[in-house]
Amino acid sequence: MRSLVIFAATLTLAAGQLTPDEQAALQRISPDSLRGNLSFLSSDLLEGRATPSRGLDLAAEFIASRFRAAGLEPAGDDGYFQTAALTIREQNPSGFEMTVAAGGRAIKVPAAESSILTDKAISLENVPVIAADHEISADQAAGKVILWTGRGHRPNLPGSAVLVLFAASVFDPETRSSRAFFNTLASADAIALIKGAKDARMSLRVEASLEHSAKVRNVAGILRGSDPALRDTYVMLTAHYDHVGMRETGEDRIYNGANDDGSGTVSVIEIANALAAMNPRPKRSILFVTFFGEEIGLVGSRYYGRHPLEPLAKTVADLNLEQVGRTDDSEGPQQGTATLTGFDFSDVTKVLIEAGKLTGVKVYKNEKASDAYFARSDNQALADLGVPAHTLCVAFDYPDYHGVGDEWPKIDYANMAKIDRMVAAGLIELASDAAPPKWNEQNSAASKYAAAAKKLR
């Protein structure tokens, strides 16, 4: 009789039902707790959590305190912290000169409107400069200065260029927070001159950059698995806790980053807290990590990739949460729905679709964003190393994206709790299934990740 009951229980689980204990775990995810944590994490006192900053350090300490309260095992090199030394570079102002010329006009660019980062002094005399908003060939770039005017600040540009500059607005938060890491030109006049002319040239004199170092931290905790065979394998749940900091002028100067990505961060905390109280715990170990430096080019997750806290070969999947709080998407309200980037890249998606059915959330493919946004968040750093990794998102594009109005009262907390319950159900399944998810080798866009996975294992 007993074995029959066990058989029946296994059957209902396979057909897609949560056990009472799993249901109880999901019910611990609370809208009020999410609101409470996010109202602190995105408060003005944390000054937009730029990498590096005191606000970022305060956020890290807060996340560690929540992991401690949940009873997670510390997984860093210093308790819950994985400490990285970051080299911050600044353009050397001494002797700086930049002139852009075209069609008989010449513009002298003030030092404050550029940021050129270099190991040794650069001296250019009348070098051709072209604007590019899409990837260009090595031949087209050879011997030229390239001014990148496309979206994002990490395009693949050939090394044959003399120098690559990013066109930036002085008030563009994304490029502002990146100025210590990317070459930027913020003179609107010079940018317009280069874009409007075919014969633009640049002369430049700049000394080697000034450098100082800063300590920044990923925050990591483990919920140790219960199965003797599977507990040494890991599922990751991640989000970035940094944002883009502050602007220099305006009544409201603080980019609070409540949705981007305070929402993902408090969701990681909430799900960790819910699953930590399960008895027995999920079979595999679950590694909860919040990253610094996403907004300056996936710096924290790349650092993790080079210094994994648990072996990547034993890390079966990473679910990365981004912008899961706002439901007022520019494409219309997004309640009870979530999507993953790289939707057809791996089996992870199927697990989340099933978790969605169990929790009343529609997990769908966003045709426009699925593949295009795969490289836009920290999942990319793990995918490059072979770990099946996706970013789960509710609203890609919302009114206050990278704006000072991205504040905690605008979050839909009831919906966020519902999404988090779905994510928790997916994590339980990923942590319970003996067969780890695989990359979809039939999809050419995923083949390089499948190859990386083979190398890893």
Contact 194, 200 (CB under 8 A): yes
Q: Measured between alpha carbons, how far is 72 from 90 in angstroms, rounded to an integer? A: 39
Contact 255, 48 (CB under 8 A): yes
Least distance (Å) from Zn ion to the CB of residue 261?
Answer: 4
State which residue, 322 or 406, has the beta carbon closest to Zn ion: 322
State which residue, 91 or 379, has the beta carbon closest to Zn ion: 379
State which residue, 114 or 339, has the beta carbon closest to Zn ion: 339
Least distance (Å) from Zn ion to the CB of residue 293?
Answer: 11
Which residue shows structure tokens 């039939």? 442
Q: Measured between alpha carbons, how far is 453 from 124 in angstroms, rounded to an integer? A: 43
Least distance (Å) from Zn ion to the CB of residue 427?
Answer: 20
Least distance (Å) from Zn ion to the CB of residue 325?
Answer: 12
Helices vs. strands in the chain: H and E counts, helices first: 13, 19
Kind of pairing between the strands at 145-148 and 163-167: parallel
Contact 201, 129 (CB under 8 A): yes
Q: Measured between alpha carbons, how far is 352 from 160 in angstroms, rounded to an integer? A: 43
- Between the CA of residue 88 and those of 178, 182, 216, 246, what are the distances in Å? 10, 11, 11, 17
State which residue, 74 or 297, has the beta carbon closest to Zn ion: 297
Q: Is 435 exposed, middle or buried (0-12, 13-18, 19+ CB in 10 A)?
A: exposed
State which residue, 321 or 425, has the beta carbon closest to Zn ion: 321
Contact 230, 149 (CB under 8 A): no
Least distance (Å) from Zn ion to the CB of residue 294?
Answer: 6
Nearest to 101 by CA among 124, 82, 85, 83: 124
The residues, ordered by sequence, that sit 6+ positions from 65 with a Cβ below 8 Å of its Cβ are none
State which residue, 322 or 420, has the beta carbon closest to Zn ion: 322
Least distance (Å) from Zn ion to the CB of residue 239?
Answer: 8
Least distance (Å) from Zn ion to the CB of residue 391?
Answer: 9
State which residue, 153 or 201, has the beta carbon closest to Zn ion: 153
Q: Measured between alpha carbons, how far is 223 from 90 in angstroms, rounded to an integer? A: 40
Q: Measured between alpha carbons, how far is 293 from 181 in angstroms, rounded to an integer? A: 11
State which residue, 91 or 290, has the beta carbon closest to Zn ion: 290
Nearest to 186 by CA among 260, 272, 112, 288: 112
Least distance (Å) from Zn ion to the CB of residue 297?
Answer: 12
Q: Measured between alpha carbons, how far is 394 from 396 in angstroms, rounded to an integer? A: 7
* Token digits of residue 444: 């050419």
Cα Rg for the chain, rounded, in angstroms? 24
Positions that interact with Zn ion (CB under 5 A):
260-261, 322
The residues, ordered by sequence, that sit 6+ positions from 156 with a Cβ below 8 Å of its Cβ are 135
Least distance (Å) from Zn ion to the CB of residue 240?
Answer: 6
Is the preceding peptide bond at 44 cis, omega within 30 degrees of 0? no
The one-letter code for the residue type at 449 is Y
State which residue, 115 or 320, has the beta carbon closest to Zn ion: 320
State which residue, 233 or 334, has the beta carbon closest to Zn ion: 334
As a three-state string, the secondary structure of 31-82 is HHHHHHHHHHHCCHHHCCCCCCCHHHHHHHHHHHHHHHHHCCEECCCECCEE
State which residue, 260 or 406, has the beta carbon closest to Zn ion: 260
**In sequence order, what DSSP letters do the residues of 286-353 get, joined into one string?**
EEEEEES-GGGTSHHHHHHHHS-SS-GGGEEEEEEEES-S--EETTEE--SEEEESSTTTBTHHHHHH
Least distance (Å) from Zn ion to the CB of residue 288?
Answer: 17
Least distance (Å) from Zn ion to the CB of residue 272?
Answer: 19
State which residue, 246 or 428, has the beta carbon closest to Zn ion: 246
Least distance (Å) from Zn ion to the CB of residue 322?
Answer: 5
